[in-house]
Amino acid sequence: RKEVEQDPGPFNVPEGATVAFNCTYSNSASQSFFWYRQDCRKEPKLLMSVYSSGNEDGRFTAQLNRASQYISLLIRDSKLSDSATYLCVVIQGAQKLVFGQGTRLTINP
């Protein structure tokens, strides 16, 4: 079983729709969680951190469920510019970052 698992997609949704991704992790001792965004042929960039209490940044909401060992990302009122690959990142012991495979999202006009 992979340490961090994501549905690779692709997800194709119409502009304005709400879309959600989940990411599961296997190590219950994982400490910190992030979502990164990666555009085609570009480097990954931090989108947002994920806290136990959940956090929101504009149209984006991230949540953590430690009991079930998953994190989620919700995008409301999706824009064409949201088209990208979304990478789930989990920090395990000794500051080891583990990336998921990424979920590819395409927003259609």
Partner 1 sequence: EAGVVQSPRYKIIEKKQPVAFWCNPISGHNTLYWYLQNLGQGPELLIRYENEEAVDDSQLPKDRFSAERLKGVDSTLKIQPAELGDSAVYLCASGKGGTDTQYFGPGTRLTVL
Query: Which residues here bind partner 1, judged by CB under 8 A?
Result: 4, 8, 31-32, 42-46, 87, 91, 94-102
Q: Which is nearer to partner 1, 74 or 98 (CB)?
A: 98
Q: How far is the CB of 16 from partner 1 (least distance, A)?
A: 28
Q: How far is the CB of 101 from partner 1 (least distance, A)?
A: 5
Is residue 14 within 8 Å of residue 106, measured between CB atoms? no
Q: Which is nearer to partner 1, 2 or 79 (CB)?
A: 2
Q: How far is the CB of 32 from partner 1 (least distance, A)?
A: 4
Q: Which is nearer to partner 1, 70 or 99 (CB)?
A: 99
Q: How far is the CB of 99 from partner 1 (least distance, A)?
A: 3
The 3-state secondary structure of the chain reads CCCEEECCCCEEEECCCCEEEEEEECCCCCCEEEEEEECCCCCEEEEEEECCCCEEECCEEEEEECCCCEEEEEECCCCHHHCEEEEEEEEEHHHEEEECCCEEEEEEC
Q: Which is nearer to partner 1, 66 or 79 (CB)?
A: 66
